[in-house]
Structure 1
Amino acid sequence: MNQIQNPIIPGMAPDPSIIRVGEDYYIAASTFHWTPGIQLFHSRDLVNWERLDNILKNDEVELRGSNTPAGVWAPHLSYDQKTKKYWLAYSHMQNMAGREFNADSYAMWADEITGPWSKPIYLTSIGFDPALYHDEDGKSYLAILEWETRQGYQAPGHLVIAEVDLTNGGIIGSWHRVTKGFTTRGCAEAPQIYKRQDYYYLLIAAGGTGYGHGVEIGRSKNIFGPYEAHPSGEPIITSAPQHLFSLGDPDAGHFEMYNPNSPMQKAGHGSLVETTTGEWYIAHLMSRPLPGTLLNPLGRETSLQKMRWTKDGWLEMHDGSNLAKMTTEAMEGQVVPAKKSEDHLFDFATNPNLVEFLTPYRKQTSTWFNLTKRPGYLRIHGENSFFSQMNPAILATRATSFHYQVTTKLEFQPDHYSETAGLGLYYDSNNWLYLHLTYSEEAACPMLTVLQAKLGKRVEYPHHRRLMPTGKIELKVIYQNGVAKLAYREDQKWEILIEDIDVSYLSDEGVNGEPGEIGGFTGLFNFIGSVDAHQHDSFADFSYYAVKNVTNA
C-alpha cells in the first residue's frame, strides 16, 4: 500500500488552505510577521510541494512593529466555478494587547493563481480566520470567528456566516451566529463551508493552537444553520483523542493533552479537498516537538490525512479513527513518487531565484538587497539591529528538520563596531542567534564574533572572537535537536568557534509566552543579514547560501 509521508510541507507552513483546480493542487499558508505575506505551494501528486510564490508582495499590508505572533493570519483559497476566478481571504492581525485582537479581513481575486491579484477588498473587522464559499446560485458567503471580548461570555466567541459583497466589499444583510463549536474542546475558529449532496458542512478548528488542537465538523441543510454536530461528539482529526472539556478557554497550550505515543502533535485547522479520482483529503497543521521536550522549533507544519464519507453522510478519517498519523494512504492506483529534498543551494551567480526567502516585518525591496550591484553576489545593505521590528536587513528560509547545517560565504569591510554581517538562526526580534563579522577598533580590521537575543535579552560572547583581516569568510551553523555549533573557515579547514549553545528556546513554546500559553506559533528560520547602526553606508556581499539536512528528522 502506497503511503504519503507527513509532513508534506515541513517547517513553518501553518493554517493550510487547500484547493484543486483541474489537476493542480494549491496550498496557501500563514506568514504572520514575515514578508512577502502568504506562502503559496503547488503540487500535482499531493506528495511533493513546490514553493510557487508569495501573494502579498505589493504593499497590501504593513507589518513593521508587529508583535509575535500578529501579522497575516489564516489565508483561505477558493475557486469560483462560475466566474473562473481564484479568491484569497485573509486577516491582518494588528493588535493582540488586552486580548482585543484587532484584525481586518480582506479578499483578493485573480484570473490565474500566480496573479496578478486584485487590490484587497475590505470585508470585516469582526474577528479573524475568514473563509469564502461560492454557492451554486452565484451568491458568496463569508464564514469567520466573531471575537468575544466581554467578561462572562464564552470565549473566543461565535462562528458567524453572512452573505458577502465581493464587488464593493462588506457584508449583505446580517451576521448569523451558527455555533461556538461542535465538541467540548472550545476555542472554535477557522470556519470553512463545503457542500455535498443536500448538506452544507462547516469544518472548523478547535481546542486552541496547542496540544489540544483538532478538526471538528457539523452540517446543515441551510447555510445559516442550525448546524448539527458530528455524532461522535469528538474532533474528526486530532493528535490527542482523549476527551477534553475546555469550553470558555479562549486558547491555551493544553500541555496535558500531549500524546506520548505519537510523533505528531497539535493536529488541527484543516482544509478539505476532493481529488481527480473522487477521493477526499484534509490538509491540516501539525507540530513535532524536540525529543524529550514540549518545544516545537519547526513551528506548525502541513500534513495530509485521507478521509471518507460514511453511509449517513458524515466525514471521518479513512481508517475509521480520529488520530492523525505520520503517513496516510495515497490515491488509488497512485505510485507515490520519491519525496524531494528540502535542501537549498543558492549560488547567487547561477541561481538568482529568491522566492524561498522571507523577511521579518519589513518589505523586500532593492533598496536594501539586490543581485545587480555586484554580479554573482547577493548584496545586503545593513540597517536596523535585529532587535528591531522596523527595518532589519534579513533574508531567511524555513528550518525543516531537527538536524541540519546552514552555510554561507561573504565579503564584508566594516569600519565601525555597529556594522555587522553574517549568518544565524531567527524566530523573532526578541529571539535569535547571530554569527557575524564586525569591526575591531583595537586591531583596526574585521572580527568574527557571536551575538544572541534570548527572550529580549542581549547576550554577547566576548571569549569567542577571531580577527579576520581580509573580511572574507565562510560561516556555518550546525543545528541538532535544539543545540547549535558555530564554525568558520578562511581557507580549506573548518574551525569551531563555539559549540553546545542551547537554542531550543527558538520554538513556539520557548519564546515570550505566558505560563500555560503558546508564546508564538510561527517557527525557526535560518538567515543571512547585515546591520548598520552607524551611517547606513556598509554592505556585505554573499556568494552563496546553502542548507543541508543531515537527516530526515
Structure 2
Amino acid sequence: MMWRKTHLFLIALAMVVTLKSPALHAAQDQNSFENPIIWADVPDPDVIRVGNAYYMTSTTMHMNPGVPIMKSYDLVNWEIVNYVYDTLGDSDAQALRNGQNEYGKGSWASSLRYHNGTYYVVFSSSTAGNTFIYKTRDIEKGPWTRSTIGFYHDMSLHFDDDGRVYLVHGSGDIRITELHSDASAVKAGGLNQVIIPNASQVAGSNIGLPAEGAHIQKINGKYYIFLITWPQGKGRTQLVYRADHITGPYEGRVALDYAGVAQGGIVDTADGKWYGMLFQDHGSVGRTPFLVPVAWQNDWPVFGVNGQIPAQMPKPVPGVNSNHKIVASDEFEQTRLPLVWQWNHNPVNNLWSLTERPGFIRLKTGRTSTSILDARNSLTQRSIGPESSGRIAIDVSQMKSGDYAGLAALQKNYGFVGVKMSGNSKSIVMVNGSGAAPVEVASVPLAQDKVYLKVEMDFKNRTDKAYFYYSLDGNRWTAIGDTLQMSYTLPHFMGYRFALFNYATQSAGGYVDFDYFRIDNRMTGTEGAGESPQSPVQSGSVYKLRNAHSSMVIGISAMSTANGGQAVQWNDNGSADHQWRFDRLSSGYYKLTNIHSGKVLGIENMSTANGASAVQWDDNGTADHEWQLAPVGDGSYKLVNRHSGKVLGVDGMSKTAGAKIVQWDDNGTADHNWSFAFMR
C-alpha cells in the first residue's frame, strides 16, 4: 500500500500550483499574514489550542529527535519548544547500520490531543511496524511515557464525552478502533468497524488515491472527520464528513479543492474564529503549512473564501509580536544543541561534542561510510523559501586520509561543498549526487586549516536549484562545481536540508570542528559576508538619503511621529525627520531609524507589491525593516528591501516635493539610486 501511495503522490506533485508568498522564517506582520505561514518542510500538521497557546506536531520521519512540538500564540509564528522522543528505537535501519536506513519512513502523521490535563501524541512508524502513544503532563518539558499498539494508518485520536476513547484511521475505508480509557492499548471487545466505506467517493469516481489522513473532531455535538483524496489529474483535495453519532451514518462533501492545499484539521481561537491548518506540496523545499479561514454554514465547515485562499489575511490573533523559530543560526556557544537541529537518523552521542572545544561543535568519525547518505551524525536544519543561504566556518586540521567534511544540500539527490583529505593533502571539492553515482565535479587545493563553505538554494517559481561556494577568509567567495537541480524524491519524502557532515571512507578517528552555521533568507552569491570596504555608511552614524533623480531627501510627511507615517521626498531644509541612523545587522543588512520619530523605515503592511508605500514603524523585527545597500557603480546605491526584494524609489519618478517613497522592481531608473550625506 505504501508503494501505491507514494507513486501516486509523485504523479500529483507535478500538478500542484504554487501560490505567491514571501520568505517567512522571519517575523510576519503584526496584523496580517500570507501563506504559506512557514515556507519550509512542516508536513502533516496537527494543531490544538490550550488556553491562549497553540501547539502543533509534524512529521519528521528519519530525523532525530523526532515529532517536534511547536508553539504559537497567533497560529502564524511558530517556535519549536520540544520533541516527543530522542530516538524511537535502535534497529539497523534507524541507526544507519549494515547497509540499512529508514529514509522516508520513521514516524508519520502524528495526532495531537489534550484531555484532562494530559497531552497525547499518537503516530505510526512503518520502520517499527507499530503505532506509538506518548503522553505527558508538560508538553514543553516532558517527561513522556510510551505505549505501543499495532499499526494503524494515519490515525486520529478522539476522547469522547462519555469517557470512551477511539482511533479513526485507514485508507479508502475509514475505520474506528476503541482504546482503553487511558489510551494505552486497544480495548478488547471494543468498537472495531468501518464507519465510512470508500470515503473518496464524494470527490467523484476518477480517484487516484483513496481517502486517508484522518482528523476527527467533535464540535457542537457533531462528529467531523477530515480526510484527503487525490482525484486523477489534480492535487490533494480536502474532504469533510459529519455525523450525529461516532459510528455514523456519515455524510460527506469536498471541503477545499484549491492549489493542492489539503490534509489537516481545524482549530478555533479564543474569540470564536476557525481556521484549517493544512499543507501544500511545494517542490523540493518540502510540504509547507497553510492557514485557511473556515466559516460555518448549516453546520458545515467551509474552507477559504469562495473556494479560494486569499493572498493576504488578517492574523487570527492580531498584535502578537513574535518570530518563527523553525530555523536559526548557531555559533555553537551553548552546551546543548538548540531545538532547530535534528540528526539524520540516530546520532552516535560519543562522536560529537559541544564541550571538547568550547564555541565549536566537533564531529568525529567512528566508522567508514560510502557517501553522505550512510554517514552517521550528519546535523541538519530545514531549508527555507523562496530562497535561503547557509554558510559555515570549519577547522579541518584533524582530518584523516579519505575523510570528507563540509556542508550539504541533503536529500536523495544531494550536493555538497566540502574538504577532502587525500594522504596529507587537502582539497575543497564540490560533489553532485543527483545522478546514478555521485560525481566530484570540482576540486581546488587547500593549503590552510580553516575554510568557509556556503550552500544556497533557490525555490522561487519552482526553480529548485542549489549553488555552492567557498572562501578562504570568510568574506570573498568563489563559486565551485556545478548547479544542483534539486528534486523532491519519494525515497526521502522530505524537503531539502542544510547538513553539516563529516565521514570517513578509509579509516575512522578523524574529526572536524565547526565554528558556526549561519542561515539567511536570501542568496548572497559571491558577496562578502562582512562589512564591505566600499560601504557608503558607517554603522551607528546618521545620514541624509538624497535621490539621484530629484536631488531631494527622504523625510516623513508632516514630520509625523506615528506608526505608518508616509516616507516622502522633500527639499533639504535641515529638519530632523530628514536624518536617518544606519545600524548594520549581522546579516549585512541595515535598519534605518528616523532621528525625529525614533521609528524605522519599512514597507506598509509588509507588502511585496510594486508601488507599496515606504512608511515608518516601531522596530518589531520584521524583515521589511531591513535594507541592503547595493552599489550602482557611479557612487550611488540602491536600497533593496530584504522582505520583498524590491528597491526604494519615488512614485512616478516625480521631482515634486511631497511625492511618496515606494518600492518597485529594479528597472534601472535614476529614481532608484541614492547617495548618503554624512551628518554625525
- The Cα RMSD (Å) is 2.7
Aligned residue pairs: how many?
477
Q: Does 1:302 align with 2:289?
A: yes
Equivalent in the alignment of 1:91: 124
Equivalent in the alignment of 2:192: 175
Equivalent in the alignment of 2:174: 159
Equivalent in the alignment of 1:246: none
CA distance in 2, matches of 1:27, 1:48: 11
Q: Does 1:439 align with 2:421?
A: yes
- Pairwise CA distance, 1:366: 2.6
Report if aligned partners of 1:213, 1:266 keep a CA contact under 8 Å in 2: yes
- Pairwise CA distance, 1:298: 0.8
* More divergent stretch after superposition (84-93 vs 116-125): 116-125
Equivalent in the alignment of 2:446: 468
Letter in 1 for 2:122: A
- Pairwise CA distance, 1:212: 1.7
Q: Does 1:452 align with 2:432?
A: yes
1:425 equivalent among 390, 409, 413: 409
Q: Does 1:266 align with 2:266?
A: no
- Pairwise CA distance, 1:520: 5.2
| Structure 2 residues without counterparts, runs of 5 or longer | 1-29, 523-641, 645-680
Equivalent in the alignment of 2:302: 316
Letter in 2 for 1:224: T
Pick closer, same or farther for the CA change 1:531–1:89 going to 2, 3 Å. Answer: same
Q: Does 1:214 align with 2:237?
A: yes
Report if aligned partners of 1:267, 1:324 keep a CA contact under 8 Å in 2: no
Equivalent in the alignment of 1:119: 145
CA distance in 1, matches of 2:217, 2:324: 32
Letter in 2 for 1:31: T
Report if aligned partners of 1:123, 1:171 keep a CA contact under 8 Å in 2: no
- After TM superposition, the structure 1 = structure 2 runs for residues 273-288 of structure 1, keeping only pairs within 5 Å, are 273-288=267-282
Q: Considering fraction of residues, name the structure with more strand.
A: 1
Pick closer, same or farther for the CA change 1:225–1:552 going to 2, 3 Å. Answer: farther
SS in 1 for 2:249: coil
- Structure number with higher relative contact order (C-alpha < 8 Å, ≥ 6 residues apart): 1
2:394 equivalent among 410, 413, 418: 410
SS in 2 for 1:270: coil
Q: Deviations over 1:240-299 (max 9, x none)?
A: xxxxxxxxxxxxxxxxxxxxxxxxx431111211111111111011133xxxxxxx0111
- Pairwise CA distance, 1:30: 0.2
Pick closer, same or farther for the CA change 1:545–1:388 going to 2, 3 Å. Answer: closer
* More divergent stretch after superposition (57-66 vs 465-474): 57-66
- % identity of equivalent residues: 21
Equivalent in the alignment of 1:252: none
Letter in 2 for 1:470: Q
2:517 equivalent among 533, 540, 545: 545
CA distance in 1, matches of 2:33, 2:56: 16
1:135 equivalent among 144, 151, 160: 160
CA distance in 1, matches of 2:175, 2:443: 57
Q: Does 1:367 align with 2:343?
A: no
Report if aligned partners of 1:402, 1:482 keep a CA contact under 8 Å in 2: no
Q: Deviations over 1:205-264 (max 9, x none)?
A: 22289952022111111101121113xxx2x1232xxxxxxxxxxxxxxxxxxxxxxxxx
Letter in 2 for 1:272: I
Letter in 2 for 1:529: F
Pick closer, same or farther for the CA change 1:112–1:316 going to 2, 3 Å. Answer: same
Report if aligned partners of 1:401, 1:552 keep a CA contact under 8 Å in 2: no
Equivalent in the alignment of 2:109: 74
Pick closer, same or farther for the CA change 1:78–1:300 going to 2, 3 Å. Answer: same
- Pairwise CA distance, 1:478: 2.5
Q: Does 1:144 align with 2:138?
A: no
SS in 2 for 1:157: coil
Report if aligned partners of 1:133, 1:194 keep a CA contact under 8 Å in 2: yes
* More divergent stretch after superposition (159-168 vs 432-441): 159-168
- Pairwise CA distance, 1:330: 2.7
- After TM superposition, the structure 1 = structure 2 runs for residues 239-258 of structure 1, keeping only pairs within 5 Å, are 239=258
* More divergent stretch after superposition (479-488 vs 345-354): 345-354
Letter in 2 for 1:474: Y
Q: Deviations over 1:178-227 (max 9, x none)?
A: 22224224521121221122311111122289952022111111101121
1:477 equivalent among 443, 455, 458: 455
Q: Deviations over 1:441-481 (max 9, x none)?
A: 3xx322111222225522122xx222222221111122234
CA distance in 1, matches of 2:369, 2:257: 40
| Structure 1 residues without counterparts, runs of 5 or longer | 95-101, 146-155, 240-264, 289-295, 514-518
CA distance in 2, matches of 1:338, 1:115: 21
Q: Does 1:502 align with 2:488?
A: no
CA distance in 2, matches of 1:228, 1:59: 38
Pick closer, same or farther for the CA change 1:59–1:404 going to 2, 3 Å. Answer: closer
Q: Deviations over 1:406-439 (max 9, x none)?
A: 1000111356442111111001xx4211211121
TM-score, with length taken from structure 1 = 0.80
TM-score, with length taken from structure 2 = 0.66
Equivalent in the alignment of 2:360: 377
CA distance in 1, matches of 2:233, 2:428: 39
- Pairwise CA distance, 1:354: 2.6
- Pairwise CA distance, 1:8: 1.7
Letter in 2 for 1:409: A
- Pairwise CA distance, 1:90: 0.2
Report if aligned partners of 1:108, 1:117 keep a CA contact under 8 Å in 2: no
CA distance in 2, matches of 1:202, 1:61: 35
Pick closer, same or farther for the CA change 1:552–1:175 going to 2, 3 Å. Answer: farther
- Pairwise CA distance, 1:317: 2.1
Q: Deviations over 1:37-73 (max 9, x none)?
A: 1122100111211111221215457524345422210
* More divergent stretch after superposition (496-505 vs 365-374): 496-505
Equivalent in the alignment of 2:558: none
CA distance in 1, matches of 2:325, 2:58: 20
